[in-house]
Chain A
Amino acid sequence: MAANAKVVPGVMRQKPLTPWLYLSPALIVMTIFIVYPGLRTLYLSFRNVDDTAWASQACRAGEPCWGIFENYRYALTSDVMQTSLLNNLIWIILMVSGTVLIGLLIATLADRVKYEPIAKAIIFLPMAISFVGAGVIWKFVYDYGSSQVQVGIVNAIITALGGKPIAFLTVPGLNTICLIVVGVWMWTGFCMTILAAALKNVPEEILEAARIDGANEWEVFWKIMVPMIAPTITVVITTMIINVLKVFDIVYVMTGGNYGTDVIANRMYFEMYKNFQTGRGTAIAIVLVVLIVPVMIMNLRRFREQEASR
């Protein structure tokens, strides 16, 4: 022991302060860029429009009032925010299931063909495009020309086949679905890559054994592959939920949140930087964080389990 102690330099010896020394760079950065802004956001969410009084001051006689939580009343009960919350729910259900299912399907199928790298590259390519770029591209795809000439490819095909053009981005209900398609197009590659890597890790012997025991490919997939990559699927799902909760770019670029397509993040941006309603903007930000945190904890826990089982 004594001999060893001589070799280890003084600073590296375990003293009560040593861990803090190592942690300090990270702690300082986190304090400045995460903790302080986070607390400030929380504080502002209880303040009025320009941080001159508490939010309760904005209450008006004869209308419901949540006192100091007035901004949260807006963030949770106002018409626009309810639309946004509902839209985010639709986004989660459709986009997460869409990306994960299509990603899994392609990962499985690509595993069995010779041109696997090309197939995967094509699916993954949209990830390389910026979200704003993708939004602009798809805005053209969905373009609705009021004249005889259709610039948008979808409407061009529809009219060429003798149909009537559809205003994809302005018809309520349909438009949110059309936006989700863009999201799925962008993120399927991400899900596919991770799931494909997990599938490659399933030991060949087990699959071989199952086949010898008489299982068909369908059974091999559902009863062996899927259970074996279940932890990865969960991680992908939770990551996607977090991504979708924060969705902003596609909506902002393609509809600006109009025609009933608004989502939480877009609403937050509008209240903050268009309407200059700092209190409401920060309250929406806090609501978004509160929604994301449980998913994130679940994600972390899964991740740890996975690491532990390695």
Chain B
Amino acid sequence: MKSKFWQILAVLMVAAMILAACQPKETPTPAPPAQPTAAPVTPVSEIDCMGAQAGDVITMLYQWSGDEETKINTVLKPLVDACGLVIQPESTRDQALLDTKVQAGTPPDIAFWNVAQLVQYQDKLFAMDQLGAHGDSYADFFKSQGTVGGKWLGLPIKADVKTIIWYSPVIFELKGYTVPTTWAELDALVEKMVANGDVPWSMGMESGDATGWTGSDFIQDILLVQQGPEYVMDLISGEVAYNDAGVQQAYETYLKWAADAKYTVGGAQGTLSTGFNDAILKVFSDPPEAMMVKQSGFAGGTITGTYADLKYGTDYDFFPVPGAQGLQGGADWMMAFNDTPAVKALVAYLSSPLGGENWAKATFDLTPNKYGASAYTDPALLKKGQMLATTTGFTPDLGDTIPGGFGAAEWTAIVNTVNGQALKTNLDNVAKVQAEALAQ
């Protein structure tokens, strides 16, 4: 009897598993389409519908979901209201979906994706100036990154900056430290902290199989300080090899701090073993374990997620990496696989001054659109927006941009050198992967 029961249970479980396995794949989740309101509530004179009729449909594919989706809908609402467009978005993080749709000849009208897809689909995309984009809304370095083979194919639509250092203004004031404005001042500040018995940096970089990316962000910022954005772009194109003296110098600057317990929490082993989120929090714990942490914009959310009562501007704040020429950051790009009037209306709207302002007001990260720069309502975004508006260059993450395992090789080199291995051999290895990747 008893064994019979277990047999039945086992059979049932197997059956349940098979059933579960046969469920259709959940991604992509079609997002609720933004419904056009019956009639335009307010006459919006600034929006040019480019001949689109009420009821025209735009299909889009993007990687945003949840809260981000609400924000993009907020940005698009004035256009939807004014022209009566119907937006049919699909949200997925799976690039294979985009690839499949394009190969099947049924691409979305608009895709918001990465800069690499501009190159991948250069023959299938419509040029932005043909679609009525306002080119003067964007800095030249943004336009040139979106230009492939002489054609401006991608509109930079959303950006975040990584070239920032987080600190606690209260602690700085208490200890008599001032925010540095040049690299030399930063260096002096770091030495002053060490002399005072404070640990200047929290550099933890542990992140599972992606351990090392925090270090690669830091090193790229040092490259921007010591060499400038042109040099970083040359690394991406392969004109400068990764074992160049400039890269070596940046690593040496980084390792001086990252592998020494005087400069960073826990020294080399602390850098390797501490999770990147824990590293952010160490600066804001009571008492703080370190004075500063270099991390992207998301760190603000990590801080308030754990220490909910900390206030931006007094308890936590950030300053740009001093002396950095140009910024490092990530951007989402809008690309058009179709040239219907509705698509033109969307391109014209998002690249217009109004589109930039509305993006900024929606608090959806940063807009590369110049006209958004002073429209941010969130103080942290306003500060980052000013950085983006006044910068002279914008470099994407090296590791994300060079294909064929370069990113992983770069992380390995960082992890190994922090762990005490020879710098030269490790950089040679990465240079080899870089050459292989760019030859393919």
A144's nearest neighbour on chain B, judged by CB, is B273
State in angstroms the CA–CA spacing of A271 and B406 once bound together: 11
- Docked-complex contact A275 and B212, CB < 8 angstroms: no
Provided the pairs A79-B429, A256-B209, A275-B408 are in contact, do residues A167 and B439 lie with their beta carbons within 8 angstroms?
Answer: no
A171 at interface by CB-CB < 8 Å: yes
Asked if B440 is at the interface of the complex by the 8 Å CB criterion, the answer is yes
Q: Which of under 10, 10 to 19, 20 to 34, or 35 or more describes the interface residues of B?
A: 20 to 34
Indicate with 1 or 0, residue by residue over A163-189, a CB within 8 angstroms of chain B CB atoms. Answer: 000010111100000000000000000
The CA of A144 and the CA of B265, in the complex, are separated in Å by: 12
Among A60, A146, A167, A258, point to the contact of B211 (Cβ < 8 A): A258
In the docked arrangement, what's the CA distance between A238 and B419, Å? 36
Quick check: is A276 within 8 A (CB to CB) of the other chain? Answer: yes
- Over the window 102-146 of chain B, the binary record of Cβ atoms lying under 8 Å from chain A Cβ atoms (1 yes, 0 no) is 000000000000000000000000000000000000000000000
Contact B439 A146 (CB under 8 A): no
Tell me the minimal C-beta distance from A80 to chain B in angstroms.
Answer: 8
B403–A258 touching, CB < 8 Å: no
* Residue from B274, B405, B435, B440 in contact with A146 in the complex, judged by beta carbons closer than 8 Å: B274
| In the complex, B46 has a CB within 8 A of chain A | no
Measured CA separation A152–B50 after assembly (Å): 63
Q: Is the interface of A mostly helix, strand, loop or mixed?
A: loop
Residue B289 CB within 8 A of the other chain: yes
CB neighbours (8 Å) of B273 from chain A are 143-144, 146, 167, 169-170
Q: Do residues B211 and A58 form an inter-chain contact, with CB atoms below 8 A? A: no
Q: Compute how far the CA of A259 lies from the CA of B204 in the bound complex, rounded to whole angstroms.
A: 15
Does A114 touch B at the CB level, under 8 Å?
A: no
A218 to B404, CA, bound (A): 58
Question: Which residues of chain B from 256 to 304 have any CB-CB distance to chain A below 8 Å in the complex?
Answer: 265-267, 269-270, 272-274, 282, 289
**Docked complex Cα distance between A259 and B412 (Å):** 8
Asked if A147 is an interface residue, CB under 8 A from chain B, the answer is yes
Kindly state whether residue A310 has any CB partner on chain B within 8 Å: no
Q: How far is the CA of A231 from the CA of B270 in the complex (A)?
A: 48
Asked whether A253 lies within 8 Å of B289 as measured between CB atoms, the reply is no
Shortest Cβ distance from B429 into A: residue: A79
Q: Chain A CB within 10 Å — which of B209, B408, B435 has the most?
A: B209
Tell yes or no: B153 within 8 A of A by CB: no
Cβ-based interface call for A49 (8 A): yes
A11-54 CB mask vs B (1 if < 8 Å, else 0) is: 00000000000000000000000000000000000001110000
The reply on B366 being an interface residue by CB < 8 A is no
CB distance from A40 to the nearest CB of B (A): 18
- Contact mask B210-236 → A, CB, 8 Å, 1/0? 111000000000000000000000000
- Across the interface, which residues of A come within 8 angstroms of B403, CB to CB? 276
A270 at the interface (CB under 8 A from B): yes
B405 touches A259 (CB 8 A): no
Cα distance A159–B38 when bound, in Å?
A: 69
B272 in contact with A167 (CB, 8 Å): yes
Interface string of A245-288 (1 = CB under 8 A from B): 00000001100111100000000001100111100000000000
Known: A256-B211, A258-B415, A274-B405. 13 other contacts (CB 8 A): A50-B440, A79-B429, A144-B273, A146-B266, A147-B289, A167-B273, A170-B273, A252-B209, A258-B212, A259-B272, A276-B403, A276-B405, A277-B405
Where the two chains meet, the residues of B that have a C-beta atom closer than 8 Å to any C-beta of A are 204, 208-212, 265-267, 269-270, 272-274, 282, 289, 403-405, 408, 411-412, 415, 419, 429, 435-436, 439-440
Interface residues of A (CB under 8 A from B): 48-50, 58, 60, 79-80, 143-144, 146-147, 167, 169-172, 252-253, 256-259, 270-271, 274-277
The 10 closest A-B pairs by CB, nearest first: A146-B266, A275-B405, A256-B209, A146-B270, A167-B269, A170-B272, A144-B273, A146-B265, A258-B415, A167-B273
